Chain A
């Protein structure tokens, strides 16, 4: 089965700083890639997804992610974070079932 690795456990940024969260996966076949977000006290929500085509995908709230097949990576980016982006972010990889990374906790200081 596929596995997912998220490099950063906890990231602390000030508002307006740029964000990049790393995600690498291991799986030899075709996969679909996702980023989910979990705001405090809320359930997991889809941020963005990649199935095929343009490897740069745009999601909600100004987030984007780039699929680099040769690096088995799908890093999440945002040019300027806001306090409301404080949440837990999970990278996920889907072949038949969906596997999640351990998550990165983002704290944005006002």
Chain B
């Protein structure tokens, strides 16, 4: 597709349930980022992939959060035993990385709004 695609756009779940959020980056973009944005806040960094591997996962808040990108394209953010505090918009972004240089600009998806009741 032309842009970064995220599904679902909205997810309502109950406390304690498991949730998966999917991101389909722009074709050819090797770098993929996950952020979390709460109301009135800036995007909070979660994890960054370069290809299939997580280059930096220092932003994942705890071991309930996990992300994969098995083929270096689509990524899934997985949240176990959801808590009410996990409610936020989860943003995915991708960027182009060539010849050891990341062009820097991130292209964002529309986000997945997660509500934990």
From A12-20, A62-70, A76-84, A96-104, give the one contacting chain B: A96-104
From B22-30, B67-75, B105-113, give the one contacting chain A: B105-113
Q: Flag if B43 contacts A44 (CB, 8 Å).
A: yes
Interface residues on A, range: 20 to 34
With CB as the reference atom, state the residue of chain B lying closest to A104.
B42
User: Could you tell me the distance between the alpha carbons of A4 and B41 in the complex, rounded to whole angstroms?
Assistant: 13
With CB as the reference atom, state the residue of chain B lying closest to A9.
B40
Residues of A with C-beta under 8 A to B55? 96-97
Q: Flag if A97 contacts B48 (CB, 8 Å).
A: yes
Q: Flag if B45 contacts A97 (CB, 8 Å).
A: yes
Q: Flag if A34 contacts B110 (CB, 8 Å).
A: no
The 5 closest A-B pairs by CB, nearest first: A100-B42, A44-B108, A97-B48, A102-B42, A100-B43
On A, residues with C-beta under 8 Å from B are: 1, 4, 6, 32, 34, 43-46, 49, 51, 90, 94, 96-103
**Besides the contacts A96-B55, A100-B45, A103-B40, what 20 more A-B pairs have beta carbons closer than 8 Å?**
A4-B42, A32-B104, A34-B106, A43-B91, A43-B108, A43-B109, A43-B110, A43-B111, A45-B108, A49-B104, A49-B105, A90-B42, A94-B104, A97-B33, A97-B55, A98-B45, A98-B48, A102-B41, A102-B42, A103-B41
